[in-house]
Structure 1
Amino acid sequence: MSALSGWRAAIRIARRDALRAKGRSALVVAMIALPVLGVTAADITYHSASLTTAEKLSAELGSADALFRDPSMGGGPIEQMPEMDPYQPVDQDSTGTKPDSAVDLAAVLPPGAKSITQQYMNATVTTKYGIKNTALTELKTADPLVRGMIELVNGRFPKTDSEMVANEAFLKSSGLHIGSQTTVRGAGRTFTITGSVELPADLKHDYLYVNPGALIAPWKQAAAKDRTMEEPQAGTVDLLVKTAGSTGVSWKDVLAANKKGVLVESRRVFLDPPPLSEVPMASHGSYQAPGKGMKVTAALATVVAMAMLEIVLLAGPAFAVGARRSRRQLGLVGTCGGNRRHIRAVVLSGGLVLGAAGAVAGTIVGLGLTYLLRPLIESWAGQRFGTIELHSGELLGIAVIGLVTGVLAALAPAIVAGRQPILESLTGRRGVRRSSRVMPVLGLIAIGVGLCMAVLGGLSGRATSVSVGSVIAELGVLACIPVIVGSLGKLGRFFPLSPRLALRDAARNRGRTAPAVAAVMAAVAGTIAISTYTASTQAEQDYGRHSSVPKGVVSINADTYGERADPARALALARKVAERDLPVKGAPATINRVWAGSDCNHFPDADTSNCGALDLVRPAANNCPLLAAGGKTLAAKLSADEHKKLVNSPKCKDAEYPDTMFGNDGEIVVGDAAVLRVYAGMKDPAAEKALAAGVPVLLNNAYADADGKATVKALHSYIAEDKQNRKLHPGKARSTVTRLAVYKAADRYAATPGIRMVMPQATADRLGLHYGPTLNVYATTQTPTDAQVQHFNGGVSQAGNGVSLQQNDTSSGTTDITMLILALFSGVVTLGAAAITTGLAKADAEADLTTLSAIGAPPRVRRTLSGFQCAVVAGTGVLLGTAAGVVPAIAVRLTDMHRALANMRLHPMDSAYTPIVLPWQTIGILALAVPVLAGLLAGVFVRSRLVLARRAG
């Protein structure tokens, strides 16, 4: 018999065996198909969400051929790249003869071209809850040129100047609907919403559209007549252009428009860009073409390697049980002259047949689910797909990987089946074999080697070492699982009957239990690795995100700009509204802006060159060493933790980009102990006592000199328009430098946003400074919702536009949701793996369960035994998977740290903080809830009725 004929017979036997054992075969196909399904759906989603150049142009230009824009450079000649950005003036020293003049866009259009205008602005509009800020555009949305850029969902486009359309995101956040009316504040114009639209390229942000000329021009005319009326802050007018014929806007047309100071985004140029030799801007050497290709990261390589291993481990138990259930048939192959090679071929053919079925099923179902869940995926992504893109080569490669891993999953069972004596196969006896003493030793060695490779690879930034080391470490854990499972039997004496039987059964049948535990471990390890990496990167992003107010605080700011500003009245009104509409607790702390001489903000139209100035002087000895001449050399010597400590020290905190609450003179504020407690979060009786005694509290002690004093420099200068203060201070301008004894706060308070010193009123009076209430700060019980903010804005609208709300936004708020989704997903996978492997184990131990029933065990023992068997498999696998999953996540984070350290040494103030955060919520759900739920489900759904059967052997 030829080798080909032998394999043909083995495949035929495997196919018939799979059809006979439909339930077990379906489970194996499902275990192979699930990962293939996920990767297939991810591949299709990635390519469909990655828009082509033509699709991006449709989202930006609609069906227009080009967009002509005034870049506000005064009409001087400019030069641009074919993709429009970047661009720059030809003469770097001048932006045109009339910088404030607008360019006549219509004059530079190609002959016979048609165009429509669009103009953007930010507007404050009324909502169901109050008022909110949103983007508003004047654009003829009913024009065919905007199709592809804006699509009508419900209702109709505006027909008159008193109508508008809104996108779904605005309608949802504002509580309005088609037929509702909203008023644009400032203009006092009311519009009726006639339809809902969507921007395929942006589904998440708010947008409103009115017809051209419906708002901005009338608003400007009204503001010109009424000087108390605020003018609209609108951008320049853009033109969406459709050329005559089908030639589009050529690069020659773009260059002609550039000479007249017009920027052009051309569909034709985008799709067929000119050579760089014809691009003037490229000849300067300042332009660098975008790179091509993708670098494989440690995270990607590790995920791929772990996914392949997971497929093998998920399907391996099924093939092991299948080979055991078919041992009589395999024994008959031996009696008919088949050797071990033929027996191995039969089992491997089972992997080939079921692997092929799983790969095909996973690919087809993955494609179907992507089509079915497309609206939901687009909503999560925040944009519509262009088209569903199928890359046949990649999909075929994914299916082949599923097929290959199916064969690999059957490899170990095939080797075991080939070694089994024919007599044992025919009689059904398994024999008694001692566990290998070599495998645990090899496993421990593999764990050590894998950990070293992963850690060293992470420290050196080598993605291959991280992925290979992670897989080797997990394989080492797999080699130790039989010993771990064997030790479970010793715990049985501490438990009642059913759990004792489950633990001892698991220990006695290690060949069945170990693959089941390995399958669950593989499912959990991947999720723990992803969750740990996601939580860590989110913590890194939150650390690097700056907020204007501390966490747990909202700030209500009163405008001080202009002579009509009345911040005290605005804050008094806002206090009542805040305590009614916002989740605040306790009384507010009032922060007073402090200044010397005349207040420049109060007289914006006067000659402010002689206004006063106030500054908190930092001693030269306390400058940040990272910004000194040897900053790069110092950074190269620091570890990530040392660099973080130095960057967050008082000397370096905000040294590169000073953060002040009210601008240049905002380092100092006047306030009482409430400012320390509420805003700075300082619970220090000594600091409050010092403030009450007239001693300023220095939050950033880098501003104190060696004697513990702070230097305040003031210029007491008054302009003629400041008649009240000019009368009180008729003398000449004078400068004062005062060294104040201060109370130095702990180093951590240097990070308080916007404030360096809290000065008591008595000290400000003694120094001849002026101050007034500018904002109230509240402690909150929770972050205000969008509806609550709209309620508040509507309530304070009587104060005009002089009151605004600021809240902490350092966290995106997606961390907990992401972790919860990952935990739920992992829980489902773990439940499925535990249920499948426990079902296979139950089928393998059916004879034992029959014997248990025959000796008088009640039916409920069958249920509880199956439940505890499932719980033991799930619990052991979850614990091992948690430990195995943390390893690759830590190793990949080490590669991130290596990259951050390299960047830090080039840019000394850039953060090298790469935390490793364990997702305790995910771990808790998996370690506690999932095993309990798995056991309960197994106990509920298992059949407890006694089935009469004859035990063979």
Structure 2
Amino acid sequence: MSVLTGWRAALRIARRDALRAKGRSALVLSMIALPVLGVTAADVTYRSSSPTVAEDLTARMGSADAVFSSAGIGAVPLEQMPDAGTWGTPDGAPEIPGEDERRPVNVPATFPKGARYLSEQSVPAVVTTRHGVVNTEIVELRTSDPAVRGKLGLVDGAYPHGEGEVVATEHFLESAGLGVGSRTTLSGPGRTYTITGSVELPGDLDKSALYADPGAVIAPWKAAAGRDEKIVPPYPGDMTWLVRSPTGAGISWPDVLRANEKGVLVLSRQVALDPPPDSEVPLLAHEAMSFTESSAELSAAVVTVVAMAVLEIVLLAGPAFAVGARRSRRQLGLVGTCGGDRSQVRAVVLAGGLVLGAVGAVTGVAAGIGLTVLFRPMIEGWTGSRFGELDIRPWELLGIAVIGLVTGVLAALAPAVVAGRQSVLESLTGRRGTRRSSRVLPLVGGVALTGGVAVAVYGGTTGDTRFVAGGSVVAELGVLACIPVIVGLLGRLGTRLPLSPRMALRDAARNRGRTAPAVAAVMAAVAGTVAIATYTTSVQAEHDYDRLRSLTPGTVALVASEPAAADQLPLARSAAERNLAVTGGRADIRRVWAGSDCTVYYEDENSCGTLELVKPTGKGHSCPLQGAGARKLAEGLSAQEHKELMSSPACVDEYTTAQALTTGDSDIAVGDASLLRSYVGLDDPAAADALAAGTPVLLNSAYAQDGRVTLKAVHTYNERDKENRRLHPGKAEATTDRLKVYVAPAKYAATPGIRMILPQRTADRLGLHTADYGTVYTVAHTPTDAESQAVSAAFTRAGDGVYLQTENPMERNDEDVILLFLALFAGVVTLGAAAITTGLAKADAEADLTTLSAVGAPPDVRRSLSGFQCLVVALTGVLLGTAAGVVPAVALRLVDLREATAAMREQPMDSAYTPVVLPWETIGLLTLVVPVLAGLLAAAFAGSRLSLARRAG
């Protein structure tokens, strides 16, 4: 019989066997198709969501041929790259003049003769919403012009026509609570506009803006400001032009060069799609520029993902083929009795992998494309941009399908070899024989685990990520080699357990051939998830530590923008308490100063008073990380020691932050005990009593010496400041006071914006001036869009002199989504592996279950046994994967620690804090929820009724 004829018969047998054992075939198909589906969906999504150059140009200029804009340097020649991303001035060009001396550029004069163009200009504005008012952007652009198509698209309604109409992006309408047909009023000139439609920018779905025709907003606003000095004039941004060539041939590179000579920057579709040679780009003639794309990391990532997918399929589908071969051993024995040799027996099993691999690969590719199409709107919303076209690349999908096919064959390879070694007698009688576990494999695994961890740690300490990656892989392979022994030990754990969990543990230990690969597959998926989640969570914790807060957590502040606006605070406070989620904590703050107030009389700075909290010198007062000897000191510090030193009162206020409370140069605020409780978070009766008695509370102990602080005030007066001149006549007077203070614990030294709280009575005694500054509140959550808009509207009605300061949370949306997807991926693999193992266990142990029922076991034992079998596989794999995943994460953090420590020794004030934080939420989901869910699902879908059958033999 020829080779072709033999394989044809093997394929026919494999096809019939797959149709006969539909349940087992479905399990194998699902585990081959799922990774292929995931890779296919990822490939199509990545290709479709990554805009091509043409799609990016369309998102920026619509159907126009080019975008012309002034470079902002006046009428000075410039040179640019073909994509307009980089530009500079030519050698020998005149020096760029100052902003006041620049001659305006007549950009339209540089357009090709007869060109058609549209202007685009934006202006920041405050408009009314359903909830109040909001700061937004209004863009003057004729959105109804066909040249804008692709840059902006109409979703609902109609384009604006005339001065009283606008369209809004969907994001703006959602946050403002408005819709098509709503009206919004522009604060300042008071002009009202009707929203005639909703639009979206395909390249920026998250943009919040209004669009009006040219001349509908900026010009009337300027005219109103000219008539009424109370109206603040607009401050529009630079204008750009969308240009269409008169001939339709596009804007050529010579056209771009001619515009550059006038100081105009041009992004041309024709030039960007077909750039000129480097010899024709003047900027490259004298600039050492390099634009190399590094694809090594991307290639490594792709190879890693593909390798992991192949490993998952082999580990999960391999046991299924092994069980299938055992279930078909009589059929394979008959092949031997009919003259078939061992190679033909192997061919039958391999043909099963070929058939199921081909069907699984085709199913996975088709399902991947279908799911991408189905979830396309959700993916576009997550990425914030529309797909240009669904980019399906046949050769890439064919490669993915081939990988699935080959993997199916590889998964059947080991069972095929085992089946080929069985004698015909064993195959016909169904005897499995006695097989001992390898004693060498666990020893090799232990050595690989120890050596891999050591190599990974070495790579972390030396900063070589190649050792980190290699050591982590070796360590994971070592754990894989130890899994059979670990599974074998599971049987000893159930001695005192009830019947079902005891049988599940013993069944897992006795059938290591199907249990160990499933546990390994779960471990591999969970290890990757835990590694990435641990590293991401640790980096987030580092960013939290490095973050310079403008307010204390859980607080917001109302601040008067200028002294004259202090009389608006009562109305602003009422609005805030009515609209914000205030939890009851409130504290009013007064600012304090000496002499004339510089915030009012700023014409003559020499006539302003000063108030200074003098910081003593010496150990405990001066930050040792600054000045002479700082670098030498930093060289001997560990990251933890540096963190403790940076958190000390002496160093904590040496780095600047964007503080919401700016009560003065010395950060002295006038307040009472409510400020301690609501803002500082210091609920200490002794501190409250000190304030009531007129003793200041010092939050930064580095300014205290022997329980006292030095307060230096220079009392001056301005000719316009009659009140201060009455209090402090004559020349400038400097006074220094030593005040007894209550020193707060060191952790309160980092309180943003406040260094010391001064009682009103003490300020009066020292002859200092005070005035209302603002109020801080404790809130249940950061104000929502609706709450902020309602409060802003009330502030506007009060006079627009008070503003709301909030502590913006760190943007973690992307990281949270990534962690969620990783957890879901690991959960799906865990459920799939546990389900396959449970299904194989049921198929493999059907005779044992029949015997169990025959000796009187209740019907529910079948359900509970299936549930515990699933739980054992899932929980064991998750626990091993969690331990294995921590290794690469810790090693990578060691790399970060090395780099941060080196930077800290160069710049002693730079933080070297590099924590390792475990993602307990992800770990809890994987170790508690997923295994329990897997067990419950297995128990729910397991039948409790048995059909008794006669046992063969």
- The alignment's TM-score, normalised by the length of structure 1, stands at 0.91
After superposition, the Cα gap between the structure-2 partners of 1:734 and 1:118, relative to the gap in structure 1 and judged at 3 Å, is: farther
Match of 2:717, SS state, is coil
Give, in angstroms, the shift of residue 697 of structure 1.
3.5
Contact 1:516 1:838 in 2 (8 A): no
Query: How many residues of Structure 1 are paired with residues of Structure 2 in the alignment?
Result: 946
- Which residue is 2:504 aligned to? 502
- Which residue is 2:763 aligned to? 764
Give, in angstroms, the shift of residue 839 of structure 1.
1.0
After superposition, the Cα gap between the structure-2 partners of 1:774 and 1:99, relative to the gap in structure 1 and judged at 3 Å, is: farther
Amino acid at match of 2:827: G
Give, in angstroms, the shift of residue 406 of structure 1.
3.1
Match of 2:772, SS state, is strand
- Which residue is 2:877 aligned to? 877
Contact 1:520 1:877 in 2 (8 A): yes
- Which residue is 1:515 aligned to? 517
Q: Distance in 1 between matches of 2:749 and 2:104?
A: 46
Contact 1:700 1:745 in 2 (8 A): yes
- Which residue is 1:788 aligned to? 787
1:55 equivalent in alignment to 2:55: yes
After superposition, the Cα gap between the structure-2 partners of 1:654 and 1:426, relative to the gap in structure 1 and judged at 3 Å, is: farther
Q: Which moved more, 1:439-448 or 1:810-819?
A: 810-819
- The alignment's TM-score, normalised by the length of structure 2, stands at 0.91
1:812 equivalent in alignment to 2:811: yes
Give, in angstroms, the shift of residue 186 of structure 1.
1.9
Contact 1:672 1:691 in 2 (8 A): yes
Give, in angstroms, the shift of residue 392 of structure 1.
4.6
- Which residue is 1:773 aligned to? 772
Counterparts of 1:836-855 in structure 2, within 5 Å, are 836-855=836-855
Contact 1:545 1:810 in 2 (8 A): no
Q: Distance in 2 between matches of 1:519 and 1:721?
A: 80
Q: Which moved more, 1:392-401 or 1:501-510?
A: 392-401
- Which residue is 1:917 aligned to? 917
Match of 1:153, SS state, is strand
Give, in angstroms, the shift of residue 680 of structure 1.
2.3
Q: Distance in 2 between matches of 1:52 and 1:327?
A: 55
After superposition, the Cα gap between the structure-2 partners of 1:385 and 1:627, relative to the gap in structure 1 and judged at 3 Å, is: farther
Amino acid at match of 1:217: A
Give, in angstroms, the shift of residue 647 of structure 1.
3.9
Match of 1:410, SS state, is helix
- Which residue is 1:800 aligned to? 799
1:402 equivalent in alignment to 2:417: no
Give, in angstroms, the shift of residue 909 of structure 1.
4.3
- Which residue is 2:84 aligned to? 84
Give, in angstroms, the shift of residue 100 of structure 1.
7.5
Q: Distance in 1 between matches of 2:68 and 2:46?
A: 32
Amino acid at match of 1:289: S
1:722 equivalent in alignment to 2:724: no
Q: Distance in 2 between matches of 1:620 and 1:300?
A: 57
- Which residue is 2:608 aligned to? 611
Amino acid at match of 2:407: T
Give, in angstroms, the shift of residue 699 of structure 1.
3.1
Q: Which moved more, 1:531-540 or 1:179-188?
A: 531-540
| Partner residue of 2:581 out of 580, 583, 586 | 583
Q: Which moved more, 1:511-520 or 1:342-351?
A: 342-351
- Which residue is 1:28 aligned to? 28
After superposition, the Cα gap between the structure-2 partners of 1:443 and 1:112, relative to the gap in structure 1 and judged at 3 Å, is: same
- Which residue is 2:681 aligned to? 681
Contact 1:542 1:810 in 2 (8 A): no
Give, in angstroms, the shift of residue 101 of structure 1.
6.7
Q: Distance in 2 between matches of 1:615 and 1:752?
A: 18
- Which residue is 1:929 aligned to? 929
Contact 1:182 1:192 in 2 (8 A): yes
After superposition, the Cα gap between the structure-2 partners of 1:250 and 1:796, relative to the gap in structure 1 and judged at 3 Å, is: same
Counterparts of 1:112-151 in structure 2, within 5 Å, are 112-151=114-153
Counterparts of 1:331-410 in structure 2, within 5 Å, are 331-336=333-338, 340-410=342-412
Q: Distance in 2 between matches of 1:616 and 1:135?
A: 42
Amino acid at match of 2:369: L
Give, in angstroms, the shift of residue 378 of structure 1.
0.6
After superposition, the Cα gap between the structure-2 partners of 1:333 and 1:914, relative to the gap in structure 1 and judged at 3 Å, is: farther
Give, in angstroms, the shift of residue 280 of structure 1.
5.5
Q: Which moved more, 1:330-339 or 1:188-197?
A: 330-339
Q: Which moved more, 1:22-31 or 1:149-158?
A: 22-31
Amino acid at match of 1:386: G
Give, in angstroms, the shift of residue 165 of structure 1.
0.6
Amino acid at match of 1:721: R
Match of 2:484, SS state, is helix
Q: Distance in 2 between matches of 1:262 and 1:769?
A: 56
| Partner residue of 1:107 out of 106, 109, 133 | 109
Contact 1:897 1:912 in 2 (8 A): yes
Match of 1:293, SS state, is coil
Amino acid at match of 1:350: G
After superposition, the Cα gap between the structure-2 partners of 1:934 and 1:681, relative to the gap in structure 1 and judged at 3 Å, is: same
- Which residue is 2:598 aligned to? 600
After superposition, the Cα gap between the structure-2 partners of 1:652 and 1:57, relative to the gap in structure 1 and judged at 3 Å, is: farther
- Which residue is 2:826 aligned to? 826
Q: Distance in 1 between matches of 2:923 and 2:532?
A: 12
Contact 2:592 2:663 in 1 (8 A): no
Where in structure 2 are there 5+ consecutive unaligned residues? none
Contact 2:712 2:737 in 1 (8 A): yes
Contact 1:591 1:671 in 2 (8 A): yes
Where in structure 1 are there 5+ consecutive unaligned residues? none
Q: Which deviations, in whole Å up to 9, do the C-alpha atoms of 1:174-204 show, x marking residues without a partner?
A: 1111111111222211111111100011112
After superposition, the Cα gap between the structure-2 partners of 1:638 and 1:83, relative to the gap in structure 1 and judged at 3 Å, is: farther
Give, in angstroms, the shift of residue 773 of structure 1.
2.1
Q: Which deviations, in whole Å up to 9, do the C-alpha atoms of 1:426-448 show, x marking residues without a partner?
A: 21122333433333323222221
Amino acid at match of 2:914: T
- Which residue is 2:472 aligned to? 470
Match of 1:240, SS state, is strand
Give, in angstroms, the shift of residue 84 of structure 1.
3.4
Amino acid at match of 1:431: G
Amino acid at match of 1:602: V
Contact 2:556 2:778 in 1 (8 A): yes
Counterparts of 1:152-167 in structure 2, within 5 Å, are 152-167=154-169
Q: Which deviations, in whole Å up to 9, do the C-alpha atoms of 1:647-669 show, x marking residues without a partner?
A: 44444445354555328726332
- Which residue is 2:569 aligned to? 571
Give, in angstroms, the shift of residue 153 of structure 1.
0.8
- Which residue is 2:749 aligned to? 750
After superposition, the Cα gap between the structure-2 partners of 1:29 and 1:901, relative to the gap in structure 1 and judged at 3 Å, is: farther
Amino acid at match of 1:668: I
- Which residue is 2:670 aligned to? 670
Give, in angstroms, the shift of residue 170 of structure 1.
1.1
After superposition, the Cα gap between the structure-2 partners of 1:393 and 1:206, relative to the gap in structure 1 and judged at 3 Å, is: same
Give, in angstroms, the shift of residue 166 of structure 1.
0.8
Match of 1:601, SS state, is coil
Q: Distance in 2 between matches of 1:47 and 1:399?
A: 17
Amino acid at match of 2:918: L
Give, in angstroms, the shift of residue 744 of structure 1.
4.1
Match of 1:783, SS state, is coil
Contact 1:599 1:612 in 2 (8 A): yes
Q: Distance in 1 between matches of 2:578 and 2:751?
A: 27
Q: Which deviations, in whole Å up to 9, do the C-alpha atoms of 1:86-145 show, x marking residues without a partner?
A: 456777965258447754333333322222222112222221222222222111111122
Over aligned residues, Cα RMSD in angstroms? 3.2
1:235 equivalent in alignment to 2:237: yes
After superposition, the Cα gap between the structure-2 partners of 1:253 and 1:675, relative to the gap in structure 1 and judged at 3 Å, is: farther
Match of 2:297, SS state, is coil
Contact 1:313 1:522 in 2 (8 A): no
Q: Which moved more, 1:485-494 or 1:378-387?
A: 485-494
Match of 1:315, SS state, is helix
Give, in angstroms, the shift of residue 294 of structure 1.
2.5
- Which residue is 2:216 aligned to? 214
Q: Distance in 1 between matches of 2:594 and 2:254?
A: 58
After superposition, the Cα gap between the structure-2 partners of 1:699 and 1:316, relative to the gap in structure 1 and judged at 3 Å, is: farther
Amino acid at match of 1:925: L
Amino acid at match of 1:450: G
Amino acid at match of 2:245: T
- Which residue is 2:438 aligned to? 436
Give, in angstroms, the shift of residue 614 of structure 1.
4.0
| Partner residue of 2:172 out of 170, 193, 199 | 170
